Amino acid sequence: MSIFLIWLAAILFFTGLALFLIRRKEGRGAGFRIRLTALFILFVIVPTVPFVFFSANLVTRGMNLLLLPGMQDILNDSMDTVRRQTEERGRDFLAAVPQNAWSPETLKDWDIHGAALFEAGPDTCVLAETIEAGENPVPDSVLVRFFPLSGRHTADTSASVLFMHGDVPYIAVARAGTPCSGMLYYRVEPYVFQTRDDLARAMEVQSTLSVIRNSLLEKNIIWSLAVVVIGLLVMMSFYVSRKLAGQVSRPVQTLVYGMEQVKKGDLNAQVQVHTRDEFQFLGDSFNTMVNDLRESREKLARAERIAAWRQVARAISHEIKNSLTPVSISLRRLRNHFAGQDVPKNVFESIAAVEDELHSLGAMASEFSTFARMPKPEKAAVPINDVIRTVCAVLGPMAGDIELEAQPGRVVPEILADREQIKRVFVNLVKNSIEACSPGDRVIISTGMADRQEYTVKVTVSDTGSGMSRELLNRIFDPDFTTKGKGTGLGLVITQKIVSDHGGAIEVESSPGEGTEFTVYL
């Protein structure tokens, strides 16, 4: 028992030392794993150590109870009792009948099967005569094999031996201390033979167990095995707990790292949690939260930029309109003044050019004014197919040699929208596509059911024009960006704002030389 307690203390000491070294090596962030590992090991050791201790103690006591003191003597006495009871008839015959009076009749009277008389020879006893008193006598060769009986279950006055002849058990009895004398043999019950064999096996088992018991107790093998079991359990629990702690702590550390990146302002941070449990759900939720936060920040920044541009647009529109009015009146007066007079032709050409520029400035002022005001949509049921047919009819003359085609879907439901604002969206998109195309190119506006659950319809405006690079695509919805010589850069901004006010989304795909495709979800 002492060796068990010593080794148990050593195992606990080295386990604690290993946890301490791991804590120092892994540093920050290892505390949770260490505590989880220690807790798991305690859950294994606390119930196991008492169980193993009491089991080893029970085995030791059981062996002591199994091998009771004097058990060998009891078995020997039992064997001697069986022998004495079996040879009692022969022993009484030897005591009552002298050897010279042995005859078949005498043997039958005593229920003796037969007898053999031996006399001294040169080297050993020699069979002189046999007396048979029953049927199926035992051959002389068998009798000679057992004689003399000296040393075979020898008692004080007689010696005996059990033997089998055929299937019949016999016992041979002779006087003790007289090697060359008479020997009797007679049948015994089969259970005697069985009892003798059982006792012999029991004595052999008892002897073997005694040797094993002494060896186990003297060498503390039972307690050593108990120590080995505890050690193996500690090692297994240490390994398993480290694996489990890693599976728990790694996702947590990944999430902590992702949170630190977000704290630093990196809203592109994503965490990869490769598990199929609640941590996977937590990681996906974190990624969704970061994506939503990034989109919200982008929307807020965009809203702030648009709000600022709307202030600028309102001021520009006001200044342009204030200036345009007196200039337009002055030009009209000049034209009226020179009407009917002989003046150079270029004077009227100059007046026309100025009026044309004033018209462009007026259109620009109107666009700035529209962007600055951006009224809330007045929604009603709108058949989207009718809207795109109207757009194609209005812009058909502008397309010229560019093929403009409407492809309305067969089953497209009405949407709740402001008809004029939605028409402006598709007028802007189709107009941009026409301006990006060359004669012979094609512009298609089509409608259909939305392939996203949160929307009802999808409208696509595609062209085979010049297309745009990735750099331009990233800026097309900025208020200060345009690729046109006289553009304001507000057309797509207004388009996106209208779509957003209607709870929709707009997407664009384009490749240089392959055309552009705008998709509006409503």
Residue 117 pairs in a beta bridge with 129, 182
pLDDT of amino acid 435: 87
Is 80 exceeded by the pLDDT of residue 255?
Answer: no
Token output for 414? 């009405």
Residues 110 and 23 both lie in one domain: no
CATH of the domain at 461: 3.30.565.10
Residues 468 and 507 both lie in one domain: yes
Token output for 430? 């189709």
Instruction: Answer yes or no: are the C-beta atoms of 181 and 112 closer than 8 Å.
Output: no
φ, ψ for residue 264 (rounded to 5)?
-80, -5
Contacts of 285 (CB under 8 A, 6+ apart): none
Which of 338, 371, 404 is the last residue in one of the domains? 371
Which of 354, 371, 388 is the last residue in one of the domains? 371
pLDDT of amino acid 7: 63
Higher-confidence position of 416 and 331: 416
Provide the domain count of the chain.
4
For the segment 318-333, what is each residue's pLDDT rounded down to a tens digit? 566 666 677 777 777 7
pLDDT of amino acid 153: 47
**Alpha helical stretches, state H, 114-220:** 140-146, 190-218
For the segment 304-362, what is each residue's pLDDT rounded down to a tens digit? 666 666 666 666 665 666 666 777 777 777 777 777 676 676 766 777 777 676 666 66
pTM of this prediction exceeds 0.85: no
Residues 32 and 146 both lie in one domain: no
Burial class of 52 by CB neighbour count within 10 A (0 to 12, 13 to 18, 19+): buried
Higher-confidence position of 203 and 156: 203
pLDDT of amino acid 457: 93
Q: Which of 373-387, 395-409, 499-513 has the lowest mean pLDDT?
A: 373-387
Residues 348 and 453 both lie in one domain: no
Residues 341 and 291 both lie in one domain: yes
Which of these, 270, 86, 300, lies nearest to 186 by C-alpha position? 86
Q: Which of 140-154, 294-308, 395-409 has the lowest mean pLDDT?
A: 140-154
Which of 141, 176, 193 is the last residue in one of the domains? 193
Q: Please indicate, yes or no, if residue 442 is contained in any of the structural domains.
A: yes
Look at the block and give the residue holding tokens 């046999």.
130
| In 65-167, beta strands by DSSP E | 114-120, 125-132, 158-165
Instruction: Answer yes or no: are the C-beta atoms of 486 and 436 closer than 8 Å.
Output: no
Residues 295 and 432 both lie in one domain: no
The chain-wide mean pLDDT, for the chain, equals 76
Q: Rounded to whole angstroms, how far apart are CA atoms 210 and 63?
A: 9
Q: Please indicate, yes or no, if residue 474 is contained in any of the structural domains.
A: yes
pLDDT of amino acid 519: 93
Residues 466 and 405 both lie in one domain: yes
Token output for 30? 């290892």
Residues 403 and 461 both lie in one domain: yes
Residues 291 and 247 both lie in one domain: no
Residue 515 falls in which region: left (phi positive, over 0), alpha (psi -120 to 50) or beta: left
| Mean pLDDT along residues 266-282 | 73
Q: Please indicate, yes or no, if residue 269 is contained in any of the structural domains.
A: no
Residue 466 pairs in a beta bridge with none
- Give the full edge-to-edge strand order of the sheet including 125-132: 125-132, 114-120, 182-187, 168-175, 158-165
pLDDT of amino acid 287: 80
Token output for 355? 């009026």
Residues 400 and 461 both lie in one domain: yes
Q: Which of 99-108, 136-145, 502-511 has the lowest mean pLDDT?
A: 136-145
Token output for 459? 């409208």
Q: Rounded to whole angstroms, how far apart are CA atoms 259 and 267?
A: 10
Q: What percent of the chain has pLDDT over 90?
A: 10
Residue 186 pairs in a beta bridge with 171
Residues 400 and 483 both lie in one domain: yes
Rounded to the nearest angstrom, the gap between the alpha carbon of residue 88 and the centroid of all alpha carbons in its chain is: 79
Q: Please indicate, yes or no, if residue 291 is contained in any of the structural domains.
A: yes
Quick one: pLDDT band at residue 383, thresholds 50, 70, 90? very high
Is 50 exceeded by the pLDDT of residue 155?
Answer: no
For the segment 110-124, what is each residue's pLDDT rounded down to a tens digit? 888 888 887 777 777
Q: Please indicate, yes or no, if residue 299 is contained in any of the structural domains.
A: yes
Quick one: pLDDT band at residue 151, thresholds 50, 70, 90? very low
At position 415, the amino acid (one-letter code) is: I
Token output for 335? 């034209």
Rounded to the nearest angstrom, the gap between the alpha carbon of residue 305 and the centroid of all alpha carbons in its chain is: 48
Quick one: pLDDT band at residue 127, thresholds 50, 70, 90? confident
Residue 393 pairs in a beta bridge with none
Residues 36 and 124 both lie in one domain: no
φ, ψ for residue 478 (rounded to 5)?
-80, 140
- What is the residue range of 171's domain? 89-193
Residue 157 falls in which region: left (phi positive, over 0), alpha (psi -120 to 50) or beta: alpha
Give CA separation, 9 vs 13, 73, 201, 203, in Å: 6, 43, 44, 42
For the segment 442-472, what is each residue's pLDDT rounded down to a tens digit? 999 999 998 888 899 999 999 998 888 888 8
Most confident listed range (4-8, 270-274, 418-422): 418-422
